[in-house]
Structure 1
């Protein structure tokens, strides 16, 4: 995405990077820390997601996400979850495996 900003009468243009999901749509820059090569966002198995009252519970094991090296359980509120554009669940972890930044959930979960 190209962003244009004017500061003190000088016009600047710069790219705000995000990276693409495997199926081709783009994660939000905030979710992947604006770094397309960070590897912090990826699809996760639907079997690791459970819909609970008010949101989602994720139970991840090593291999469910490239950054996960041990078991984790995370909860996301429904109103903080973003819509997945490919009917799959995607999780962004940043700055490390202990910090879930964004969960993308398919429309059927909304």
Structure 2
């Protein structure tokens, strides 16, 4: 893109090498933060998986039996969802939307 615009080529900074990445992972696993996170996920791992709700589980599963549900957010709600909500939980927006889908 830069060359096409006649600009001087500027490459991004070099990223960390795989060796450095693996060393940082090893360092992190020795921290209290990792231990706390590990205990948290160990508890979750012991829980039975949640079943996703199914439409008419005993039904015919034909297209003609399909129904649609619609939810509309206001402009302010959409803005908050896309810019604030996920940062509160330290996640990305896709994780919030997927959680809403599963819980909905």
| TM-score (norm: length of structure 2) | 0.19
| TM-score (norm: length of structure 1) | 0.18
**More helix, by proportion:** 2
